[in-house]
Structure 1
Amino acid sequence: MKIALIGASGFVGTAVLNEAISRGYNVTAIARNPANIKITSNLVTVKKADVFDIDGLVSVLKGHDVVVSTYNAGWENPNLYQDFVKGSEAIQSATKKAGVKRLFVVGGAGSLEIAPGVQLVDTPQFPAEYKTGATAARDYLNILKKETELDWTFLSPAILMHAGITDGRTGKYRTALDTPVFDANNESRLSVEDLSVAILDEVEQGKFIKKRFTAAY
């Protein structure tokens, strides 16, 4: 399998790249700043691309079996909302133009429902510093749901998925569709390494085609 990984230098992208290499996949690691990709392997080809340059992105994506997007417009970006939605739509468009059928998008947990019709991002306790990015990911998911040509999948990580979760790679996780997965301590949490396991498992198995899912311990 040939994987095109967008955002390969980021927190999630780096973990996905490591997991893909461990499974023996050929990966085109794509980033705005390729020098930030520190992983070297004969399975990895590093490419520079700007998601807003659709034609340039098309040329990089051609010939792959799947596009995995861990695109992040930058938490400090003053145009975070607009850039995330625009960039995500550009990736979606470029994937189609490149003739790649499978698109996997890593989004956010904010669109998960904690009660019928109530999404996490709309609750008072949702952290204000993440609200703009989470709202952008939620709104892009609604756009992606209208996509009919691609075999797309959207993954909402666990509510708690950050560098402070140090479980490493256990290979264990549980899934749901639109509601968070909670453990015995009523926490929705997952390490970035196990998030990557869930991503590559879905790329291989295709259980959630044209669906959103979430994964946590």
Structure 2
Amino acid sequence: MKIALIGSTGFVGAAVLAELLSRDHEVLALSRKPVDASADGVKVVTAQVDVLNESALTKALTGQDAVVSAFNPGWSDPDLYQSFMRGSAAIVQAVSNSGVKRLLVVGGAGSLYVSPGVQLVDTPDFLDHVPPAVIPGAQAARDALTQLRTNTALEWTFLSPAAFLTPGERSGQYRVGGEQLLMDGDKPAGISVQDLAVAIVDELERPQHVRARFTVASGA
């Protein structure tokens, strides 16, 4: 497939790029920062595009089979919530304008439920242990998902990783959940960014969660 990857130089995006290329997909790797032109090749083309430039992003996405968004405006952004919301909305609009139907958005664990009606981002443990600068981003990811749920035109998927997302090794195995935070005994579960990338590309190749959110954690 021809896959456009937004945020290709980030923590998640870089792992997704490697996984896509390992499976011989053709990748348009998009980033707001300058990219290494030496990465251009038969299977990957790089481009610098600001997601807020809706016309430029629409043009870049046209002709792709699917779009993966690993967009994050950056934890140091002083207006993180607003920047996240504006960027997320611009991406959805550009995908719609481009004629691409399939969109997979990588979100956060904060919007997963820890009990009926209670999301992780609203719990005291989350607020006490997550750096304050991160909280607006987690809240924005939750609200971006709420907006995405109203979209009936795109074949969208929202993937929330486990609570602990870390560098690691690619095992190729993971557990799948729905709206609930996955656990490892009495503590939240984790997953390597490499195995998260496996789950992302698996969903692109064999869609199981169209117009739905799902989560993944380590283990089979």
Instruction: Give CA deviations for 1:106-132 in whole Å, capped at 9, x if unaligned.
Output: 011000000110000000111234211
Match of 2:137 among 130, 133, 136: 133
Report the alpha carbon displacement of residue 37 of structure 1 after superposing the two structures with TM. 7.8
Q: What corresponds to 1:9 in structure 2?
A: 9
Gap runs ≥5 in structure 2? none
TM-score normalised according to structure 2 size: 0.93
Q: How far apart are the structure 2 equivalents of 1:158 and 1:189?
A: 5
Q: Write out aligned runs for 1:60-209 (5 A).
A: 60-126=60-126, 127=130, 128-163=132-167, 166=168, 168-184=169-185, 186-209=187-210
Change (3 A) 1:30 1:58: same
Report the alpha carbon displacement of residue 35 of structure 1 after superposing the two structures with TM. 2.3
| Partners of 1:34 and 1:46 within 8 A in 2 | no
Report the alpha carbon displacement of residue 188 of structure 1 after superposing the two structures with TM. 1.0
Report the alpha carbon displacement of residue 34 of structure 1 after superposing the two structures with TM. 3.1
| Partners of 1:70 and 1:107 within 8 A in 2 | yes
- Between Structure 1 and Structure 2, the one with more strand by share is 2
Q: How far apart are the structure 2 equivalents of 1:80 and 1:162?
A: 22
Q: How far apart are the structure 2 equivalents of 1:37 and 1:161?
A: 29
Equivalent AA in structure 1 for residue 49 of structure 2: A
Equivalent AA in structure 2 for residue 140 of structure 1: A
| Partners of 1:62 and 1:99 within 8 A in 2 | yes
Equivalent AA in structure 1 for residue 182 of structure 2: V
Percent identity over paired residues: 48
Instruction: Give CA deviations for 1:36-67 in whole Å, capped at 9, x if unaligned.
Output: 68755530000111100100001100000000
| Partners of 2:35 and 2:48 within 8 A in 1 | no
Deviating above 4 A after TM superposition, structure 1's stretches of 4 or more consecutive aligned residues are 36-41
Equivalent AA in structure 1 for residue 197 of structure 2: S
The two structures, once aligned, show a CA RMSD in angstroms of: 1.4
Report the alpha carbon displacement of residue 7 of structure 1 after superposing the two structures with TM. 0.3
